Each structure stands twice: as structure tokens, then as C-alpha cells.
Amino acid sequence: MAPALAGETSKNPQKRKGGINMRMNRRVFIRVVGGVGLTSTVPFRHVLGAEKTALATSGILVEAASFAERGGWKLDTQHYQQMGGCYLLAHGMGKPVANARTTVGILQSGTWRVWVRTRDWCPGEWEAPGRFRVILNGTPLKTVFGTEPGWAWQAGETVTLPAGEVKVELEDLTGFDGRCDAIYFSREAPPNLPNDDLVELAAWKDRLGGRAGKKIEELAFDLVIVGGGIAGCAAALAAKSEGLKVALIQDRPLFGGNCSEEIRVHTLGISGACEEILKTIDTPHYPNGHADAEKAQAKREATMAASGVDRFAQHIAIGLEKDGDAIASVEAREVTTGNIRRFRAPIFIDATGDGWLGYWAGADHRYGREAHTEFGESWEKHGDLWSPKTPDNRVLGTSVLWNSEQTGEPSDFPDVPWAMPVAKGHAATAGEWYWEYSAQDVHQIKDAEHIRDHMLRAIYGSFANAKKDPKNAAVALEWVAYVAGKRESRRLMGDYIYTQADMLERREFPDAVVTEQRFIDLHYQKTMKGAKQDFLAWYIFRHTGGDYYVPFRCLYSRNIANLLMAGRCFSCSHVGLGGPRNMRTLGQMGVATGYAASLCKKHSATPRLVSQKHIKELRGLIGYA
Ligand SMILES: Cc1cc2nc3c(=O)[nH]c(=O)nc-3n(C[C@H](O)[C@H](O)[C@H](O)COP(=O)(O)OP(=O)(O)OC[C@H]3O[C@@H](n4cnc5c(N)ncnc54)[C@H](O)[C@@H]3O)c2cc1C
């Protein structure tokens, strides 16, 4: 139960106008896996285990995320909400990676059937690109895994195992992104294993993993921020500097989002009044994809470690608890152990980029391009490339950055027939920002794994084509990201929706908390101009003539009382995102929301009340006074 706020008695909480009101409504628990929400008026953990069908129980589950040694395999957390797992990925850029290893305790000697939750990520008339084997106590199984389409349990053979510790290894056979979510040793044949129903799958994994009955650890903060990109980090630093107890929940091991060394985009835009904070987490201007991102990462990690912010890296937010029109707590699952922690606070900031908190809480939100008539956002010169006549789903796309190097030694690159339907005749040895994928029928969140994989096919196919040119004989892939960089998805609606006119007219809002100068930067897919390849985009810049401003009313939800948002999920139209989407600009939003949270605490106020009554104080904290 949230504590009573100043000026409020527990008898009359509803009477406080604009204040945070957490007591009067029934609580609703929403845990979401795979975009499937399960809503209940009782705490969700009591619902766990209430499975519809009798699922296999007489077996042993080994979750890939819990492997003791990953070898060369990467832990991919990006698609948990869509496929229900954090999986190991053999991302070797065409060279098989070192084995991942762990041990499992087998209680009973005897025969066990082996099942692996995996997928052929690119099915077609070729050998599956991501093939691998499972090795038990040094002996490889005959079955080659990763050869059946769609996330599913692929059957391996029956093996005889002694009681005691058994060594389990994953042996990558290709270097081309084989993936393993879990291994199951079964005594039943054939067992009923959950797969498509992701809520059921999560509950089953929790039960077999010994987590279902465990008490969920509850933690209380003044502010909980989900998403550790530039906006989330900046928000955490600002709130902490005002003495708040802050939790920062980030699904990846590193902070920075798109500018992390995993994705490697450099930060653009101005820092406005927030230079002091932003210079500790931003990057210099290296080419996107450059290894200098590692140095900038070290700076950012040092800043965050020294900040006093309670950091929860490798924690995926998976759902929340609502109380009336407010969020009461957020639940996050620790990636490696699967344990769930519950984070309580009076104020939350959604800095996930994808607007997950808002989405789960029922916040008004948008996805896609508005019709140009809705906010008067047409630009005749560019027509549909800038804004469409009727609304559509062509948002700014997702990129996978990559590069190669001259090694001085001739080298081969494997044949990649599975990549060619995407790459077609395109040849390249590096990919910058314009390697980007968006389409009318592809959703940037729901189809995130498909989009990343489509870009991998584009990259490997284009590189294979380039290698046919003798001048590239000694060129080898140096780095290919496996974490994709997203530009746009859900946008949460605030009391004000930011649009093109705000930038072109350079409107000076009394509640301005962010300043930017960079042009509006929208992209269109080159296919819209007849290109064969669907993974390349280009830009259209529209100059604004100088400074423009974002009002604080764009940084809190219009219908979730205690939700602020910072980053690309702020309240704007598609065109309205085109200016402020630079990372320093979004960092300014982070700073504004972090300070706003401190005023929510100080005045026992909602963000809307801060906007109405304390905006001068907020602007003063940021440095506008
Ligand atoms: C290829 C590319 C080139 C670009 N070029 C530039 C450029 O040159 N300069 C520039 O300034 N901007 C550039 N942009 C735009 C910019 O990167 C984005 O607008 C910006 O990163 C958005 O910041 P954010 O903090 O809102 O989101 P993100 O950077 O996406 O960070 C959000 C973080 O939240 C985490 N998260 C999401 N869901 C959860 C969850 N459920 N639980 C826990 N954590 C979660 C994500 O893993 C991520 O780390 C580019 C973008 C791309 C993709």
C-alpha cells in the first residue's frame, strides 16, 4: 500500500485534487509476457501454476540464460516479450563460436529424451543457417538443432545418463546466429511442453526452475525508471541529484540504449541547459558503429556506478500493478536467474523507447504515421515520403550497424544462400545509419526478431557479394551488432502532442523544458522510390531556422496519473518525433522528468500538478531561470 502523502488522511484520499491518489481503487495486477496480458485482481503469483492443461513435470529444465559459461554465445534478451525467453545466440559472423557450458544434476540414472526450444530463423530451400548440437558428458547428440521453423521444442534423441552431474554443452556449427532458449530432459514420451502460450510458458519455467513458490522480493523507491537508454540514465542522475531514492531498470547488461557499445550510435543534438549531466553519459562524434563506442561506454558506466542510483541491469520489466489510474508497482525479471523483483514507488518514468509501462497501464498511445491533415504536417515537395494522405504503419525503421576491416590476409566468407533473397545483388563492406528496415506490414515491436534477422540477412548477403570482388579478398567482418537499434514505435500521449508546427513556428511554451536546434530528420524506405532492396532508407531534412522547444506537458501521460515519459516514447506525432529524437535532446527530457519526479515528492503532487503549479520551480531546477 502506498504511503499517505502530505496533507492527505487515509480517510479522504480522493479529495486531494491533482495529488497522487493510490488508495481508493481496487488493485489490478498485470503481468505481460509476449504481449499477452493476464489481468487479475489478486496478486499474479497466486495465479501462477493455474495452467489449463497438464504440462510435463517429470523432467529437468535447463534455461540457456543460466548457463555457467557462455563461451562465444551471446545472451539475447531483445525478444522476450514476443517469444518468452532470453536465449543464447551463436553470433559468430560466419565463424562457429566457442561452446557454451553448464552442468545439470540428474537425480535418476536411466533414459532421458532431450528437447531443445529453438528455431530455424530462416527456413527455406537451403540448410538452416543457425545449426548447433548439444553435447552431453562429451558426447554430441546426433540431432542437429535449429532446423525447424518457428520457436518450438525440437525433439532430440533418447540418451542414457548416469545419476549425478552431467556436463551440457552447446556446439555452434555455423557461426550464423543459431539460438537456444532452453533444454528439457524428459522421462515422458512425448511430453506436453508449453510453447505458444507465453504466459503458460513463463509459469511452467518458473515452476520447473523452482521460482514459482518463492516470495517475490519487494523494493521501495521514491522513483522507478524503466529503460536505461540515454533518457533513462539522465532521468536517474537528475532525480538522484535531488536526493531521491531511484531504481533504474535496464534489460541489457550495459546502459546507453542506442548509444551503448552494443548498438554504437553517436549522440547528436544539443544539451541545452543539461550539459553538466549529459556530458557524463553522451558520446563524441565517431562514425556510427565505430569501436570508440567502447570508450564512451566506460565513461557512462563509471558515471552510473558512482551516482548512487540503484541500478538493476539485466532486469526486464515484465508487467505492473495498477491502482485505479496510477501504477503501484512494476515487476522485473532478472535475466540470468529468472527471479522476479517488485519495485514500488509513487512515481514512474517510462524510458523504454517502446512505451511498455504506458502500454501495460492502459495509457493512451499511438503507433504509425498520422494523415498529414490531422496536425497540418504536409510538405508538398516530398508528398507521401514526408507524411501520408491516410494514416499508415511506416514509422522510422530499425537498424543493425556493422563494419569490416582490411586484415592483410586473404580470407573466405561462407556461402549464404539464405541471405540472398534479401540482399539480392547488393554488395557492401559496412553499414551506416541508412541500413534501416520499416514496412507497412512489419511492426517494430511485435516483429522485432524478424526485423533484426532480416537485417542480418541483408548484411551477410551484401558482404558475401562484396567478397566476390578481388579487391575485398583481405576484407573480413570486424563487428556486426546483434542488438538492433530502434528509432520509433509506440508514442505515449500527454496533455500536449508535439507536432511539426511546434518546430517550424518555434513556439515558445511557458512550460518549455527542452531546447533543440537540429532539423527535423525523417526517413523513408528506398523501396518507396522503386529500389529493389527493402533494407535501405534515406533522409529528408527540414530546417526550422533556430531553437525550438518541447513543453513539459509532453512528458507525462494524460491518463495514467503517476507516469512520466522520457525518450522517443514521449507525446508527439510521427513528424513531431523527427526533431527531438536526437539522444542529447532525449537526454534533456530525461533530466526534466527526473527533476519533475523530485517535485512530485516535494509537493506530494502528480506530474500534471507540477505542470500546473510548480513549472517555474521545475524550469529553475533544469536551468531555465
Ligand atoms: C541506427 C540509428 C542511428 C541513429 N542516429 C542517431 C544519431 O546519429 N544521433 C542521435 O542522437 N540519435 C540517433 N538516432 C536516434 C536515437 O538513437 C534514438 O532516438 C534514441 O536512442 C532513443 O533513446 P531512448 O532512451 O528513448 O531509447 P533507447 O536508446 O532505445 O533506450 C531504451 C532502453 O530501454 C531498454 N528497455 C526496453 N524495454 C525494456 C524493459 N521492458 N525492461 C527494461 N529495459 C527495457 C532497452 O533495452 C534500451 O536499452 C539513431 C537511431 C538509430 C537506430
% pLDDT > 70, the chain? 92
* Residue 51 CA, ligand 1 centroid: distance in Å: 36
The separation between the first and the last C-alpha atoms of the chain, rounded to the nearest angstrom, is 37
pLDDT exceeds 70 at position 49 = no
Whose Cα sits closest to atom 26 in ligand 1? Answer: 567
Bigger pLDDT: 155 vs 57:
155
Angle at 517 between CA 512 and CA 519, to 5 degrees: 125
pLDDT exceeds 80 at position 334 = yes
Binning pLDDT at 50, 70 and 90, where does residue 213 land? confident
The answer to whether 590 and 566 have CB atoms below 8 angstroms apart is yes
Q: Average pLDDT in the 292-310 region?
A: 98
Ligand 1 contact, 84 CB (< 6 A): no
Ligand 1 contact, 399 CB (< 6 A): yes
Q: How confident is the model at residue 590, as a pLDDT?
A: 98
The answer to whether 516 and 582 have CB atoms below 8 angstroms apart is yes
pLDDT exceeds 80 at position 4 = no
User: Which residues neighbour 211 within 8 Å (Cβ) at sequence distance 6 or greater?
Assistant: 338, 339, 340
* Residue 354 CA, ligand 1 centroid: distance in Å: 9
Cell numbers for 519, please give them: 532539423
Q: How confident is the model at residue 50, as a pLDDT?
A: 42
Mean pLDDT of the chain: 92
Question: What does DSSP assign to residue 568?
Answer: T
Ligand 1 contact, 236 CB (< 6 A): no
Ligand 1 contact, 289 CB (< 6 A): no
Q: How confident is the model at residue 189, as a pLDDT?
A: 80
Q: Average pLDDT in the 198-225 region?
A: 94
Binning pLDDT at 50, 70 and 90, where does residue 108 land? confident
CA 552 to chain centroid:
25
Ligand 1 contact, 358 CB (< 6 A): no
Ligand 1 contact, 249 CB (< 6 A): yes
Strands (E), 15-151: 27-33, 36-40, 59-63, 74-76, 87-91, 100-106, 110-118, 132-136, 139-140
Ligand 1 contact, 352 CB (< 6 A): yes
Ligand 1 contact, 227 CB (< 6 A): yes
Binning pLDDT at 50, 70 and 90, where does residue 323 land? very high
Classify 227 in phi/psi space as left (phi over 0), alpha (psi -120 to 50) or beta: left
Domains (range + CATH), the chain: 59-196 (2.60.120.260), 218-359+492-513+550-622 (3.50.50.60), 398-480 (no CATH)
Q: Average pLDDT in the 423-437 region?
A: 97
Ligand 1 contact, 574 CB (< 6 A): no
User: Which residues neighbour 316 within 8 Å (Cβ) at sequence distance 6 or greater?
Assistant: 77, 80, 86, 251, 332, 333, 335
Q: Average pLDDT in the 581-610 region?
A: 98
Ligand 1 contact, 353 CB (< 6 A): yes
Q: Minimal CA–CA distance to 102: which of 142, 64, 74, 68? A: 68
* Residue 319 CA, ligand 1 centroid: distance in Å: 21
What would the pLDDT profile of 480-532 be if each residue is shown by its tens digit? 999 999 999 999 999 999 999 999 999 999 999 999 999 999 999 999 999 99
CA atoms within 13 Å, Cβ hemisphere of 347: 33
Choice from 32, 258, 259, 327 to test ligand 1 binding pocket (greatest atom count within 8 A of CB):
258
Ligand 1, closest atom to CA 232? 25
pLDDT exceeds 90 at position 115 = yes
* Residue 433 CA, ligand 1 centroid: distance in Å: 13
CA-based R_g, the chain, Å: 25
Ligand 1 contact, 557 CB (< 6 A): no
pLDDT exceeds 90 at position 552 = yes
Whose Cα sits closest to atom 23 in ligand 1? Answer: 567
* Residue 566 CA, ligand 1 centroid: distance in Å: 11
Ligand 1, closest atom to CA 227? 34
Ligand 1 contact, 229 CB (< 6 A): yes
* Residue 441 CA, ligand 1 centroid: distance in Å: 22
Q: Average pLDDT in the 225-235 region?
A: 98
Residue 333: its H or E element: strand 326-334
Q: How confident is the model at residue 36, as a pLDDT?
A: 40
Q: What is the largest CA-CA distance in the chain?
A: 80
